[in-house]
Amino acid sequence: MEFRLLGPVQIWSKGEQLPLRRRQERLLLAVLLLEPSKPVPAERLIDLLWPDALPANPRRALQVYMSRLRAVLDPEVTSGTEGYAIHAEPGQVDAERFKSLVEQARRQEDLDRRSKLLTEALQLWRGPALSGVTAEDVRRRLCGSLEESRWAAEELRLATELALGHHQELLPDLAQLTALQPERETFAVAHMLALYRSGRQADALAAYGELVRHLDEELGVGPGTEARELQVAILRQDPVLDLATASGVPREIPADVGVLLGRDELLAEAAQVLLDSGRQTGVPAAVCLYGAAGTGKSAAAVRLGHQLASEYPDGQLFVRLQDVAGDAVPPGVVLGRLLRSLGLDSGEIPDEVDARSALLRSRLADRAVLMVFDDAIDAGQLRPLLPANGSCAVITTSRRPLLGLEDALHRELEPLPDGTSAELLGLLSGLGAERVNDLVPHCAGLPLALRIVGARLAVVREDVGHVVKTLADESLRLDYLVAGDRAVRASLDLTLRVADSLTRDLFARLALVGADEFAAWVAAPLLDLDEDAAAVVFENLVALGLVQQRRISPPRYGLHGMVRALAVEQYAAADDDELRYLDTVLRLVTIADEHVDHAAVIIELDRGGSFALPATEALAAAGAGWLDVEGPVVRAAVERALPKWPRLGGMLALRFAGYLAVRDDREVRHSVLDAARAAAATAGEIELEADLSRCLFGALAQAGAAVEVMRPLTDRADALAEQTGNVRLRMATLSQQGWLTAQVGDFAGMSRVGEAMLAAVDANPEAEPERARALDQVGGGYFLSGRIDEGRQARREAAALSPAGTRLHAIRLVLLAESLLAGDGLGAAHIPELTAVLAEAREIVERIGDELGSAHVDNTEAQLLVLTGDLAGAETRLRRAAGILTRRPDTNGESANAAGWARLYVATGRPADARRVLAEALGKLPPTGVAKYELAMHSQALGLDSASTHRTKDPSNG
């Protein structure tokens, strides 16, 4: 006889169903068979049979129904003082048979056998247990436990089938089960996983969405942890979702990349550490590969994992430790994944993190397993996940060093060098390194960027020139660098998400700096914090790899192109922050400028804001040395300030210009001054424009610009200076007019300008600081007109009035030395004075680092050494000066060098060489000008050119 309770209640015997016509009879049978052979009290049976209204004599009615059952089942039905019972042999009741099969399945390790047992058990169900025999609420009271056992068995069957790789075959069953039990998340989870493993990622995510919708609408709750974690894993295409191998040994490391360049030495070192150190010490070996976003940490870790897989036969585990939002995956969740990967069912995994961690160590105790953790946030996240035995090993990647892992080997993955980048991009695109060279600078050495560009070139066949233009545009760069699920912006965003708000603010504001390299002090004005507090925030960006340390001494940092593009995108313009930063740069460059010793300031200059940086200001007092390092930051600040605050930008330019003159940085000097002058003109800053025009004139003169280019500039400056009423500024522009006059050969006109300037100084005490400038014009005009003694005296007076120890003073000393070397005896009468004058000039140019000034001193000192008979010393000076002038072309310097060689050749009896060198120098000069005339003077004074004339009556012929 067979009793069926898993569906409509039935009795079968010898292949035929026995009749039980009344519902109460079937219910009575079912209640007694739910626990076979166990007496059920009459009171309970009466309560179940008549829940709403009792018959007149319920005990008599119960006895009637029991007698009818006896007629069918006797002798199985028994009664006594404890109640009624039905005896059943094992296997007679389908519910008991179901329980037995499920219990056998749970103990079965063979997945195929387990699946068959569970399938057999579940096939016993023909519908809801005890269907059609009582009200639904009573049925649920009676069968709640049994029904739950059914769904638990379904869960186990689904997990078993998924483990066997039967995900596609399960899809119809899962669709039906999720429809029958929409609140049962385990069915939804299995459905999502089966869809994902069937290559239907979008459908898997849609199934999650349906679960969320149903739970919200019906119950007002959200999905549980398991479903949420699975959704994230599906989005990330987490390898842990992939099917385990048939052997049950996890092989979770993702597929290796086809091409990995520039990491061979690092991987070899890491492999050696993992294979040797752990097995020797009994402590699991660990390697931490850290670096900025996009440097290929994950690819390197995966390659290393594949290289070492055979050394760890008990499995290779792989877990990403950040979710798609960049948040840390909780340790308990990661431990659950690891334990499931090692073969444990969810029911075998404890809830507490410590218990899970201990269980993981136990499972790994006698195994050789390689564990790869990607994107660890900190060491604390890793500690619960680590094995305890030396036969296991750990590879982890992170954006920063995991300093809490003291025993781990830490190695930074830096951007690839240009050559390796070109080789990688050439291989990925199929175009070869030479054809993609122009793309390399825009990829910043990041393997991620190179792989994206390579994929686009290989698949889309985009034009290389077009890609270069796109990547060169900072506003388009990150939008272009997307290929499938790879995106540079997404990688950088993940890094930023782990930073605190202040660190993110600093990152965005670094867009204001503009320079390729900068120091940590920029953080203080950008954040409005003191230097120490700002340095902590700045170091956070360095630790995250968003700011790279470019140089150690002095410390210099920078943003590669991709990171800078993101900073620009994220910067929310705020004038207060920008102005505070630019004012601070002006404050610092003012301190430095006042220690450069160029003595070129004319108008009263702004000094910058009140934001103080004591430590940085002390460094800025090094003057030119500080600006040698910070010059790019200052130039970028000028360019940043000019559009919004032209006066601030102009002041920065003027403060910067003296240093640029000392260092003879002509391109930057011209660019900065010209841009600032134009901005001042647009803003109507008359005095500022005039002074910037004056400084720009000096830059053009040093660069050898033509007179017709410079004349309009000085005319404009002179007119503006006159409008301002600034006497000193007017005197400076007049001196430039005198210089131009000399360049066209009107040396007497130059002296007349100087004499007029002297008269103005005598008439106006405010102009007294410009007396030396007036004497420059007088002395130059006299000297070039042949009035050598008068010119020499005017130059003595100018040198005596100039600020001692400055570049301007050194220039006047050299001019004085040139006049002392002219005339009768070619300077023989002035050797002591020449020696003193040139020694002072040399001390200045060497102290302030004026290399071009050193060339001028060398040229002049060489002529003095010829006079004193030190011909070898003279030749050394001339060769050194010639070397400098090769790097820093200068018309006056080259002419003076030729004059020095001519004097040396004459002294050594080689007049033909003297004539040759002078002729070559003359041939390079324009038809008129000071340098040409001075060479003619030297030629005549040395007796090399009898046709040369030293005209004093008609200087225009010179």
The model's pLDDT over 886-922, given as tens digits with 9 standing for 90+, comes to 999 998 999 999 999 999 999 999 999 999 999 999 8
Tell me what pLDDT residue 945 has.
67
Q: How far apart are CA 838 and CA 864, in angstroms?
A: 9
Name the nearest CA neighbour of 919 among 946, 904, 899, 949. Answer: 899
- pLDDT for 875 equals 96
Identify the band that residue 15 occupies on the pLDDT scale cut at 50, 70 and 90: confident
Residue 721 is which amino acid?
A
Domains assigned to the chain: 1-164 (1.10.10.10), 165-243 (1.25.40.10), 263-412 (3.40.50.300), 418-493 (1.10.8), 802-942 (1.25.40.10)
Do 456 and 431 contact (CB within 8 A), yes or no?
Answer: no
**d(Cα 451, Cα 433) in Å, to the nearest integer?**
14
CA quadruple 309, 311, 312, 314: dihedral sign: positive
CA distance 610 to 44: 90
pLDDT, position 836? 96
Which pLDDT belongs to residue 40? 83
Residue 7 has a pLDDT of 84
Most trustworthy range by pLDDT among 183-192, 723-732, 838-847: 838-847
Max intra-chain CA distance, the chain: 157
89 or 418: which carries more pLDDT confidence?
Answer: 418
Bridge-partner residues for 77, per DSSP?
86
What's the rounded Cα separation, in Å, for the pair 658 and 801? 20
**What average pLDDT does range 354-368 have in this prediction?**
91
Q: CB–CB of 728/938 below 8 Å? A: no
User: If you search the block for the tokens 């007017």, which residue do you land on?
Assistant: 730
- Tell me the two tokens of residue 547: 């700011």
Query: Is the pLDDT confidence value at 75 over 70?
Result: no
Gyration radius of the chain over CA positions: 46
pLDDT at residue number 549: 84
Q: What are phi and psi of 316, to 5 degrees?
A: -130, 120
Q: From CA 52, how far away is CA 291, in angstroms rounded? A: 74
| Total Cβ atoms within 10 A of residue 523 | 29
78-87, 110-119, 524-533: which has the highest mean pLDDT? Answer: 524-533
Q: Which residue has the higher pLDDT, 825 or 794?
A: 794
Secondary structure class of 406 (helix, strand, coil): coil
Helix axes of 771-784 and 747-763: crossing angle, nearest 10 degrees: 160
Tokens 């003077």 correspond to 937
Question: For 117-131, 524-538, 751-765, which range has the lowest pLDDT when averaged over its residues?
Answer: 117-131
In 3D, which of 957, 937, 952, 945 has the Cα closest to residue 823? Answer: 937
Tokens coding 870: 């030190």
Which backbone phi and psi does 351 adopt, to 5 degrees?
-85, -35
Phi, psi of 722 (to 5 degrees): -65, -40
Residue 848 has pLDDT above 60, yes or no: yes
Name the band, by pLDDT with cuts 50, 70 and 90, for residue 949: very low
Q: For residue 54, what pLDDT is reported? A: 82
Provide the pLDDT for residue 958. 27
Helix axes 447-459, 418-429, angle to 10 degrees: 30
pLDDT of 243-259, one tens digit each?
654 456 888 888 777 78
DSSP conformation letters of 243-270: PPPTTS--B-PPPPPS---S-HHHHHHH
Confidence of residue 234 (pLDDT cuts 50, 70, 90): confident
Q: Summarize pLDDT for 495-522 with one digit per residue, the tens.
A: 787 788 999 999 999 999 999 899 999 9
Lowest mean pLDDT among 339-348, 761-770, 875-884: 339-348
Q: Given strand 393-398, what is the order of strands in its sheet?
A: 316-320, 370-376, 393-398, 285-290, 409-412
User: Is the confidence at residue 637, as pLDDT, over 70?
Assistant: yes
What is the per-residue pLDDT for 911?
A: 92
Q: In this predicted model, what pLDDT tens digit does every residue of 147-183 receive, in sequence order?
A: 888 888 888 888 888 887 888 778 888 888 888 888 8
Structure confidence at residue 834 (pLDDT) = 96
pLDDT class of 45 with cuts at 50, 70, 90: confident
pLDDT at 486: 60
Peptide bond into 41 cis (omega under 30): no
The stretch 480-506 carries a mean pLDDT of 77
First to last CA, the chain: 137
Across residues 52-76, what is the average pLDDT? 78
Lowest model confidence (mean pLDDT) among 760-769, 794-803, 944-953: 944-953
- Asked if residue 950 has pLDDT above 80, the reply is no
Cα 390 to Cα 266, 335, 393, distances in angstroms: 22, 20, 7
The CA distance from 25 to 258, in Å, is: 72
Judged by average pLDDT, the poorest of 160-164, 355-359, 489-493, 945-949 is 945-949
Predicted TM-score (pTM) of this structure: 0.63
pLDDT given for residue 74 in this prediction: 62
CA 475/CA 458 separation, integer angstroms: 24
pLDDT category, 487, cuts 50, 70, 90? low
Residue 490 has pLDDT above 80, yes or no: no
Average pLDDT, the chain: 86
Identify the residue with better confidence: 530 or 602.
Answer: 530
| Closest CA relative to residue 266, chosen from 300, 296, 312 | 300
The bridge status of strand 556-558 relative to strand 548-551 is antiparallel
List the single range of 282-296, 447-461, 571-585 with lowest mean pLDDT. Answer: 447-461
The distance from CA 702 to its chain's CA centroid, rounded to whole angstroms, is 41
483-497, 525-539, 746-760, range with the lowest pLDDT: 483-497
- The answer, yes or no, to whether residue 296 has pLDDT greater than 80, is yes
Both tokens assigned to 743? 């360049």
> What value does the mean pLDDT take over residues 420-441?
88
> Does the pLDDT at position 956 exceed 50?
no
In this predicted structure, what is the pLDDT of residue 957? 29
Q: In 3-state terms, what secondary structure has residue 393?
A: strand
Residues of the chain above pLDDT 90, percent = 42
